A and B are shown apart, each in its own frame.
Chain A
Amino acid sequence: MFGLDNKDTRMLLVVAVLTLCAPFILNPFPTDSAMAQFNAGYPDLMQRFVIFGIFAVGFNILFGLTGYLSFGHAAFLGVGSYSAVWMFKLLSMNVVPAILLSVVISGLFALVIGFVSLRRSGIYFSILTLAFAQMSFNLAYSVLTPITNGETGLQLTLDDPRILGVSATADGSIPVTSLFGLEMRSTFEMVVGPWAFQFNAGYYLCALILLAAFYLSIRIFRSPFGMMLRAVKSNQQRMNYTGLNTKPYTLAAFVISGMYAGLAGGLMASMDPLAGAERMQWTASGEVVLMTILGGAGTLIGPVLGAGFIKYFENIFSKINDNVLHSWFSFMPDGIEDFVVFIIHPFIGKGWHLTLGILFMLVVVFLPGGLVEGGQRIAKWAKKRKGKDSATPGKTTPAE
């Protein structure tokens, strides 16, 4: 289907089902049950899942294929957000031009930064991208205040000179973002017995764009261009010796992944029309690195999984508090219960980052392929147990 082989089509369908049915899948617990706090099916969080999914998929095109580790990708996300908000301020509240502009602007931005940074590789490339991102962050925070509104962040106001559309609605409030009249925040709530499922217009827009982005990334992975990028990763020197100039390929990959980041930024601003400099800080760049590695760099579905995983646990873990823990472990004798809660306490609530850091380190140390590799290992193990006689030939690795 769509020029994909069976395996990729299946993967695309899995992602499609996961994203389109997310309001059901993420809401497994009835609204008034004790487990309701683990429901993640509310629009705000679901939007973040798919937006960061797009971001990570784009990052993976650069890091997963070419091996160039960029520590400044959040800059493109920030640029995308700013340009989208400006489009809302100046042109119209329709999200289409905003998203288009954010992709174009961040693409241009990535072209310039990539052109300079890609003259070096390895750690120098990481430092160069980091330097560029920090530069953009510092500028957005200080001198560029007329454009970025500094610390406060760029927001819509009641007197924006909007060309198409009004600067304030009839009842004197700021108009909301929409897709040709369909308001992004409009949510349809379906109540089935004790469950309440929310279907949000903005979420579905993001989800469709994620599917398109994911499809595009599959095509890139399977194309001759993708092969070339992989060749750059495995041995750039050999590529140079064969008389091939790798620069245009890596630059193209860099720009594409920058545009993905800009798309994510534009969507973020479309869902909630504000943009702040902190989106460009290097910790934000670090986050997308974490997502991609945790899910599995270089695999197709890994980044999406990683983004979902981190965003889910970020929201859910930080909601667990001591009372919840006490209610979970109430079956234990009192002393042991307190002790268990005491042990777990640092890892939950505000300590979520500690858990994330430990998890991330474990993944890098023991599971360099991320969650995807973990899944594959489990599958292999299960297969081995099923039929020990049908020995599969071992994977061969090409000689360096």
Chain B
Amino acid sequence: MDAILLQILNGLDKGSAYALIALGLTLIFGTLGVVNFAHGALFMIGAFCAVTVQRLLSLSYELVDETQKDFLGNPLKVKTPYVESWFGPEMGGAIIDWAVPIAILFAIPIMIGVGYVMERGLIKHFYKRPHADQILVTFGLAIVLQEVIKYFYGANPIQTPSPQALSGVANVGALFGMDIVYPVWRIVYFFFSVVIIGGIFSFLQFTTFGMVVRAGMADRETVGLLGINIDRRFTIMFGIAAAVAGLAGVMYTPINSPNYHMGMDFLVLSFVVVVVGGMGSLPGAVLAGFLLGILESFASMNEIKSILPGIDQIIIYVVAIIILLTRPRGLMGRKGVMEE
């Protein structure tokens, strides 16, 4: 029982990343009808936003301190981050420590901007072209973004620790009278993604803007005929989708040190998730994300691996193939959306 609960927890944190990326992909597909192969790159850019914020916060100046000597008797150079000199050592230290959560604040405007520029600058011109062309051009864009990041940050993974207070482990099982120890940050990640997903859904469900967007997803032309500038709203939705991917990236950095090809690694899986959930179905994407995450972690249990060796490596693809062949529309796909 403990083991099963632990696997579910394991699946939830991976599943939340899948769900967030797949949600963004589906938003873009559902609104603009564009298959975005550069979405993984957006996830990666988000992760590097966190790296940048952390580096900026720990920028420091050097002071020669005459009172302290190193072992050779020379005056010691003391590095003090600017933040510490401005806010005092305690407050400053805390700010540096909390760099990753702070990065969220910076990532949102940056990612919306990136998404806006991407949509207006490139993807706008591809609405009328076949899906194959959209895949190709965004694939090219993903390569370019990836290489730009590699040029500035190098090819090695960059460690970005979570705040001290959240980096330990907690006994989650205590609630159920069991003994399950689990890293706090992963639990935070799960709740964070639930908040984001809930936010997106309520934004679409309960605001006028969201209502117009949903109407546009159902029938773009009619909404346009009603005199609503639907393109503008869809562009904003693209920005929001980019921000969702970026936030997923920011929060993922303490779990997995970001490197320039992390986006590609996630992209392939997220596409599988979207297809399993059903092209253009938002609840489908979220459901499939968590489902596949949990399935994957169950498949990596030793008991299961001893029966079916290697199943943990391929489970997601196997599920995707079965779903695609038996339920062409995916788990919750809408009728008439990309059935061909």
Tell me whether B313 and A139 are in contact (CB under 8 A): yes
The 0/1 profile, CB within 8 Å of B marked 1, for residues 272-314 of chain A is 0000000000110010010001000000000000000000000
Tell me whether B139 and A354 are in contact (CB under 8 A): no
B174: Cβ under 8 A from any A Cβ: no
B63: Cβ under 8 A from any A Cβ: no
Partner of B340, one of A121, A132, A141, A351: A121
Tell me whether B268 and A282 are in contact (CB under 8 A): yes
A212: Cβ under 8 A from any B Cβ: no
What chain B residues lie within 8 Å of A134 (beta carbons)? 268, 317
Q: Which residues 338-386 of A have a CB within 8 angstroms of B?
A: 346, 351, 353-354, 356-358, 360-361, 364-365, 368
Tell me whether A354 and B132 are in contact (CB under 8 A): no
Tell me whether B140 and A123 are in contact (CB under 8 A): no
CA distance A135 to B147 in the complex (A): 26
Quick one: given A116-B325, A130-B268, A132-B321, are A351 and B144 in contact (CB under 8 Å)? no
Quick one: given A131-B317, A354-B147, are A124 and B324 in contact (CB under 8 Å)? yes
What chain B residues lie within 8 Å of A289 (beta carbons)? 136, 139
Quick one: given A143-B310, A283-B264, A289-B136, are A131 and B35 in contact (CB under 8 Å)? no
Tell me whether A139 and B314 are in contact (CB under 8 A): yes
Q: What are 7 contact pairs spanning A and B, CB under 8 A?
A: A69-B132, A122-B340, A127-B320, A132-B321, A143-B309, A289-B139, A365-B122
Q: Which residues 288-334 of B have a CB within 8 angstroms of A?
A: 309-310, 313-314, 317-318, 320-321, 324-325, 328
The 0/1 profile, CB within 8 Å of A marked 1, for residues 165-206 of chain B is 000000000000000000000000000000000000000000
What chain B residues lie within 8 Å of A282 (beta carbons)? 268
Tell me whether A358 and B144 are in contact (CB under 8 A): yes
Tell me whether A124 and B147 are in contact (CB under 8 A): no
| Chain A, residue nearest B144 (CB) | A357
Tell me whether B143 and A141 are in contact (CB under 8 A): no
Partner of B325, one of A119, A130, A144, A365: A119
What chain B residues lie within 8 Å of A283 (beta carbons)? 264
What chain A residues lie within 8 Å of B136 (beta carbons)? 289, 293, 360, 364
What chain B residues lie within 8 Å of A130 (beta carbons)? 268, 271-272
What chain B residues lie within 8 Å of A246 (beta carbons)? none
Contact size range, B = 35 or more
Tell me whether B272 and A131 are in contact (CB under 8 A): yes
| Chain A, residue nearest B131 (CB) | A123
B76: Cβ under 8 A from any A Cβ: no
Q: Which residues 117-173 of A have a CB within 8 angstroms of B?
A: 119-124, 126-128, 130-132, 134-135, 138-139, 141-144
Tell me whether B125 and A365 are in contact (CB under 8 A): yes
Query: Chain A's nearest CB lies how many Å from the CB of B102?
Result: 30
A107: Cβ under 8 A from any B Cβ: no
Told that A138-B314, A139-B314, A357-B144 touch, could you supply 13 new A-B pairs with CB distance under 8 A?
A120-B324, A124-B328, A127-B272, A128-B320, A139-B310, A139-B313, A283-B264, A289-B139, A353-B143, A357-B140, A358-B144, A361-B141, A364-B133
| Chain B, residue nearest A352 (CB) | B147
What chain B residues lie within 8 Å of A120 (beta carbons)? 324-325, 328
Tell me whether A127 and B143 are in contact (CB under 8 A): no
CA distance A122 to B144 in the complex (A): 25
What chain B residues lie within 8 Å of A141 (beta carbons)? 313
B240: Cβ under 8 A from any A Cβ: no
CA distance A309 to B333 in the complex (A): 42
A258: Cβ under 8 A from any B Cβ: no
What chain B residues lie within 8 Å of A358 (beta carbons)? 140, 144
A67: Cβ under 8 A from any B Cβ: yes
Tell me whether B338 and A126 are in contact (CB under 8 A): no
What chain A residues lie within 8 Å of B272 (beta carbons)? 127, 130-131
| Chain B, residue nearest A358 (CB) | B144
What chain A residues lie within 8 Å of B56 (beta carbons)? none
Tell me whether B338 and A123 are in contact (CB under 8 A): yes
Tell me whether B313 and A361 are in contact (CB under 8 A): no
| Chain A, residue nearest B310 (CB) | A143
B5: Cβ under 8 A from any A Cβ: no
Tell me whether A132 and B147 are in contact (CB under 8 A): no
Tell me whether B309 and A354 are in contact (CB under 8 A): no
Query: Chain A's nearest CB lies how many Å from the CB of B141?
Result: 6
Q: Which residues 250-283 of B have a CB within 8 angstroms of A?
A: 264, 268, 271-272, 275, 279
CA distance A336 to B279 in the complex (A): 52
Quick one: given A121-B340, A123-B338, are A143 and B275 in contact (CB under 8 Å)? no
CA distance A174 to B324 in the complex (A): 47
Q: Which residues 216-259 of B have a CB within 8 angstroms of A?
A: none
Query: Chain B's nearest CB lies how many Å from the CB of A218?
Result: 24
B6: Cβ under 8 A from any A Cβ: no
B151: Cβ under 8 A from any A Cβ: yes
By CB atoms of chain B within 10 A, which of A127, A283, A346, A353 has the most?
Answer: A127
Tell me whether A126 and B321 are in contact (CB under 8 A): no
By CB atoms of chain B within 10 A, which of A123, A132, A351, A358 has the most?
Answer: A123
What chain B residues lie within 8 Å of A119 (beta carbons)? 325
B148: Cβ under 8 A from any A Cβ: yes
Query: Chain A's nearest CB lies how many Å from the CB of B33?
Result: 11
The 0/1 profile, CB within 8 Å of B marked 1, for residues 100-127 of chain A is 0000000000000000100111111011
Quick one: given A139-B310, A361-B140, are A124 and B275 in contact (CB under 8 Å)? yes
Quick one: given A139-B314, A143-B310, are A364 and B147 in contact (CB under 8 Å)? no
